[in-house]
A = this chain, B = another copy of it.
Amino acid sequence: MFMRKLIFLIAPLVPGWLMAQRSDTGLSRYIHPIIGTQRMGHTYPGATYPFGMVQLSPDTDTIPYEQNGRYNPDVYKYCAGYQYDDKTIVGFSHTHFSGTGHSDLGDFLIMPTTGDLQLNPGVAGQPRSGYRSAFSHSTEVSEADYYKVRLDDYNILAELTATERVGFHQYTFPAASNAHIILDLMHGIYNYEEKNIWTYVRVVNDTLVTGYRQTNGWARTRTVYFAMTFSRPFTHYGSRNYSKKQVYRGFWGKFDATRDFPDLAGRQLRMHFDFATREGEKIKVKFALSSVSTDGALLNLRTELPGWDFAQVREKGRAAWDAELNRLSIDAGESEKVNFYTSLYHAFINPTIYMDVDSMYRGLDQLDHKADGFVNYTTFSLWDTHRALHPLFNILQPRRNADMIRSMLAHYQQSAEHMLPIWSHYANENWCMSGYHSVSVIADAIIKGNAPFDANKALDACIATSNRRSFEGLGEYIDRGYIPAGTNGTSVSTTLEYAYDDWCIAQAAKQLGRMDVYDRYMKRSTSYRNVFDPSIGYMRPRLADGSFRKEFDVLSTNGQGFIEGNAWNYSLYVPHDPAALVEMMGGKQRFVAHLDSLFTMELPDKFFAETEDITRDGIIGNYVHGNEPSHHVAYLYDWTDQPWKTQERVRMILDKQYKPTPDGLGGNDDCGQMSAWYIFTSLGFYPVAPGSDQYWLGSPAVDRATLRLENGRTFTIEARGQGQKNVYVRQVLLNGKPLDRRYITHREIMDGGSLVFLMSAKHK
């Protein structure tokens, strides 16, 4: 930790992103988007507005999804388009996931160049082999809604900012008779040749270009429309179509389509817009997106960003981030503040707004819909985010969270399968990961009184989703109480997740007085017992005949009945009834021993390869913080006689897994889930079972925190004496009165008040 803090002091050696002169005093000054861009964090350093539809960010390479017809594992590094160790920037594209472990997007790459036109990106290792440029972190500034870098090959200063739906580029050129701005419509993240279904471009006039890009990626059928406008007219423009096969070009010899031809379509297009520039001339580009049409993009452009004042737009973005962060301010050391507010930043990026300024969006049914009375969102990484991110929203962003649920219900209405989202982006269901955790998000909101939607209809959607028998083993799960091993490589973890989800449905039903549903789903929620082998004390794959599978290694993960967690970890996955789990596993003492072993054992080398999404640093014993099934685990000591071990462990995890550096995240941020864990844990409590109103206590890592709630009330947290050594909680006072339980409730927070932790270097 010393070395890491030291770099703040040695200015001349440190990257530009740390050295930006920020005169402002807003909290957004603590946002360092560069955190997590090295190795496995999969965050991006570019510009975005809170929950913005545009994520305008540099892409440092274009690794194809496949090489020689096989999956190319290197593509994984580029989930967010940027890797800190890279030496070149390919360009700046407008859509990026934050922290995902699979990817898509990277739409509409813009790159300014000078000199002879190059329309190929070129190769990282060969300077000047294409339009990409070398860059250095010393010229790089990465802030909330602002990114700057010098493109060294061209001596062009690139600056980016964004409104919710419009990316704003500002390029400062040298004097050049042949300056270009390239629009690469082939570029994409997790790209492969057939991913581009179709692209269309129309040059409306010498400053306005519109079009769309349609892809078959992780989102199976996705179309993004754009409107792009330049601050000054281009002198000429042109294009090249890189499709190998072009039977119908559509010009019939009437036009030269490669130059100044305004009506282009094809699978693989790249365009260039040409200028002559004076020394220091700024060419600005506004680039608006829409899921509906080019007119939708134009509407977004003209409504959100009518002018050309880059500094003003940047300032507006910064102010928006200040306002969002101001919902939760802390007193802590500078380094912790960077971690904390950057976590809050990462938590407030996803889900992303998915509608035009007139509330129109393209739905899963391929029809255009109006979000009537709510903001429609997409990018639902629910297997991750139901755990802590949506619970965090129920406290800090209740209005948005309710709208996210309305968006999930709209998804349900449009779903051909009549299911709530599993992992959904851009009105596509990509079906990634297990369970049907939408029900957790919905139940959590209902339980916590944040359900300004039709809660009974929402519950109906939960019930319908949980009864789609053809969905991943669900029919067998309903009939048998577990998914038989053999038919499904994740039979145990999926059974466990269904059981938790069913408990969520039961909780919502109870709240709504539908006791028949409650009873049915409470019964289903005990299904975790059906995959527990009492003879060994672990969850274990079970065959259709009822016997447990013989071949079984408690440390093995993938295809062995589990995903992103082995039996050692997943045996702890009964978040909705830890007390029963403790009993089932042999009582408190044996349970503590199991937990201890998880954090302290030495994992044999061969299992590291199986651990997904994680750097080696990201593993503590056999506890893998970057894999979400563990996120509640450190809190389970609260159900034993040794809650101080929760306090100790969570501080260790905070310390080891989150650092204010590019390589500071031990695993994928997963659309804010990792960050939400950081925020809750830093505040001293965590939602072990969303769908309950309880937050279980840990060890606060901030001196003081103020939650300014949307209901106008304030909830403060104080951790008296907390520090590197003072991680143990001696006493907790809620509104001045000693708390005689190990959790607080949602209502206690939302009513406003104070929570004081008296910290100590020794556990009780």
Contacts and interface: CB of A to CB of B under 8 A. Distances in A.
Interface residues of A, number: 54
Nearest to A65: B247
Contacts of A260: 470
Contacts of A428: 250
Interface string A184-227: 00000000101101101011100000001010111011000000
A249 B262 contact: no
A295 interface: yes
B470 A430 contact: no
A324 interface: no
A216 B203 contact: no
A252 B200 contact: no
A367 B295 contact: yes
A537 to B, nearest CB: 30
B194 A247 contact: yes
Interface string A50-68: 0000000000000001100
A66 B247 contact: yes
Given A294-B365, A366-B200, A367-B293, A250 B470 contact: no
Given A260-B470, A417-B263, A470-B261, A220 B194 contact: no
Interface in A250-295: 250-256, 260-263, 265-266, 293-295
Interface in A58-83: 65-66
A220 B471 contact: no
How many copies of this chain?
2
B263 A471 contact: no
Given A255-B471, A262-B417, A220 B248 contact: yes
B416 A252 contact: no
A220 B254 CA distance: 14
Interface string A228-264: 0000000000000000010111111111100011110
Contact of A416 (B202, B249, B365): B202
Contacts of A251: 431
A683 B214 CA distance: 53
Nearest to A194: B245
Contacts of A431: 250-255
Given A202-B416, A294-B366, A416-B263, A430 B250 contact: yes
Contacts of A422: 254
A472 interface: yes
Given A198-B198, A294-B367, 5 more contacts: A195-B247, A217-B248, A252-B431, A254-B431, A262-B417
